[in-house]
Amino acid sequence: MTGADDIEAARRLVDAAQRVVVLTGAGISTESGIPDFRGPRGVWTRNPAAEKQSTIQNYLAEPEVRKAAWRSRLDSPAWRAEPNAGHRALVALERRGKLHALVTQNIDELHQRAGQSPELVVEVHGSMRRVMCWECGRRAPMEEALARVRAGEDDPHCRDCSGILKSDTISFGQALVPEVIDRALNAAAEADLLLAVGTTLQVQPVASMVPIAARAGARIVIVNDQPTAMDALADAIVREPIGEVLTAICAAKGP
Q: Under the rule (CB under 5 A), what is the footprint of Zn ion?
A: 133, 135-136, 138, 158, 160-161, 163
Three-state secondary structure call for residue 199: coil
Q: Which CB sits closer to Zn ion, 74 or 161? A: 161
Q: Which CB sits closer to Zn ion, 135 or 225? A: 135
Contacts of 137 (CB under 8 A, 6+ apart): none
CB of 140 to Zn ion, least distance (A): 10
Residue 176 near residue 105, CB atoms below 8 Å: no
Pairing mode of beta strands 139-141, 126-133: antiparallel
The DSSP bridge partners found for residue 51 are none
Is 125 designated active site?
Answer: yes
Q: Which among 87, 100, 111, 125 is annotated as catalytic?
A: 125
Residue 167 near residue 161, CB atoms below 8 Å: no
Q: Which of 112, 131, 134, 122 is nearest to 56 (CA)?
A: 134
Angle at 115 between CA 143 and CA 124, to 5 degrees: 65
Residue 85 near residue 246, CB atoms below 8 Å: yes
Q: Which CB sits closer to Zn ion, 136 or 216? A: 136
Residue 167 near residue 73, CB atoms below 8 Å: yes
Q: Which CB sits closer to Zn ion, 65 or 158? A: 158
Segment holding 128, helix H or strand E: strand 126-133
Give the residue numbers marked as catalytic.
Answer: 125
